[in-house]
Structure 1
Amino acid sequence: MDDIAQKIVDAGEAGLWAEVERNLLSQIERGPADQSILHRLGSVYRQSGELAKAAGIYARLAAMDGGDGFAKKVAQICSGNLGENQCESGPVEPARFVLRRNFLTLDARDALLRLFDAKYPEMEELEVTLADKNRDAELKIDRSIRHQFGIYCRPELEEIIQTAVMNEFPSYCDALNVDQFPPGRHDLRLDYTPDGGFGKMHQDVGFGARLSYLYYFNRQPKKFRGGDLLFFDRNRETGQPLPHQFTRICHEDNLLVIFPPQYFHQVTRVAALDLSLNAADSRLSVCGFIHPKEV
Structure 2
Amino acid sequence: MPLDKLQHLTTKSIDLLETILDNSNIPLTERAEIALRILEIAKSVQATTQNPITSANSNIVVSATPKIPTFIPNYSQSNSNQNQSQILPVNCLQIDNFLDFQEIEIALTVAIKNKNNFTDSSVHNKNTNRVKKFRQSLVLHHKFYPELAKSIQSKVLKTLPSVLEKLNHPNFSTSNIVIQLTAHNDGCFYTIHSDANTEMTATREMTYVYYFYQEPKSFSGGELVIYETKVEGNNLSKHNDFKVIKPRNNSIIFFPSRYLHEILPVSCPTKAFEHSRFTFNGWIRR
Q: Provide TM-score, normalisation by structure 2.
A: 0.62
1:72-151 maps to which residues of 2 (within 5 A)?
92-130=87-125, 139-140=128-129, 142-151=131-140
Q: Does 1:224 align with 2:213?
A: no
Shift of 1:217: 0.6
Q: Equivalents in 2 of 1:290, 1:157: separation in Å?
A: 17
Q: Does 1:180 align with 2:148?
A: no
Distance 1:130 1:149, change over 3 A: same
Q: Equivalents in 1 of 2:229, 2:172: separation in Å?
A: 25
1:204-243 maps to which residues of 2 (within 5 A)?
204-205=195-196, 206=198, 207=201, 208-235=203-230, 240-242=236-238
Q: Is the 8 A contact 1:127 1:140 kept in 2?
A: no
1:265-276 maps to which residues of 2 (within 5 A)?
265-272=261-268, 274=269, 276=270
Shift of 1:178: 2.6
- Counterpart of 1:288 in structure 2: which amino acid? G
Q: Is the 8 A contact 2:191 2:262 kept in 1?
A: yes
Shift of 1:235: 3.0
Q: Equivalents in 1 of 2:188, 2:259: separation in Å?
A: 21
Shift of 1:140: 4.8
1:30-109 maps to which residues of 2 (within 5 A)?
92-109=87-104
| Matched residue SS, 1:183 | coil
**Paired residue for 1:59?**
none
Q: Is the 8 A contact 1:125 1:141 kept in 2?
A: no
Shift of 1:247: 0.7
Q: Does 1:281 align with 2:272?
A: no
Number of aligned residues: 195
Q: Equivalents in 1 of 2:173, 2:151: separation in Å?
A: 21
Distance 1:195 1:106, change over 3 A: same
Q: Is the 8 A contact 1:211 1:289 kept in 2?
A: yes
Q: Equivalents in 2 of 1:93, 1:141: separation in Å?
A: 29
Shift of 1:114: 1.1
Q: Equivalents in 2 of 1:263, 1:257: separation in Å?
A: 13
- Counterpart of 1:183 in structure 2: which amino acid? T
| Matched residue SS, 1:245 | strand
Larger-Rg structure: 1
CA offsets per residue over residues 126-151 of structure 1, 9 Å max, x none? 123456xxxxxx64562110001102
Q: Is the 8 A contact 1:128 1:141 kept in 2?
A: no
**Paired residue for 2:256?**
260
Distance 1:260 1:254, change over 3 A: same
Q: Which has the higher contact order (CA 8 A, sep 6+)?
A: 2
Q: Equivalents in 1 of 2:88, 2:240: separation in Å?
A: 13
Q: Equivalents in 2 of 1:218, 1:145: separation in Å?
A: 24
**Paired residue for 1:27?**
none
Distance 1:176 1:110, change over 3 A: same
Shift of 1:187: 1.1
Q: Equivalents in 1 of 2:208, 2:158: separation in Å?
A: 14
Name the Cα RMSD after superposition: 2.3
| Matched residue SS, 2:168 | coil
Q: Equivalents in 1 of 2:132, 2:240: separation in Å?
A: 23
| Matched residue SS, 2:248 | coil
Shift of 1:109: 1.1
Q: Equivalents in 2 of 1:181, 1:249: separation in Å?
A: 25
Runs of at least 5 residues in structure 1 that lack an aligned partner in the other structure: 1-90, 132-137
Q: Is the 8 A contact 1:129 1:139 kept in 2?
A: no
Q: Is the 8 A contact 1:201 1:266 kept in 2?
A: yes
Percent identity between matched residues is: 24
- Counterpart of 1:257 in structure 2: which amino acid? I
| Matched residue SS, 1:164 | helix
| Matched residue SS, 2:247 | coil
Shift of 1:243: 6.0
Q: Is the 8 A contact 1:129 1:140 kept in 2?
A: no
Q: Is the 8 A contact 1:223 1:277 kept in 2?
A: no
- Among 166, 189, 204, the alignment partner of 1:198 is 189
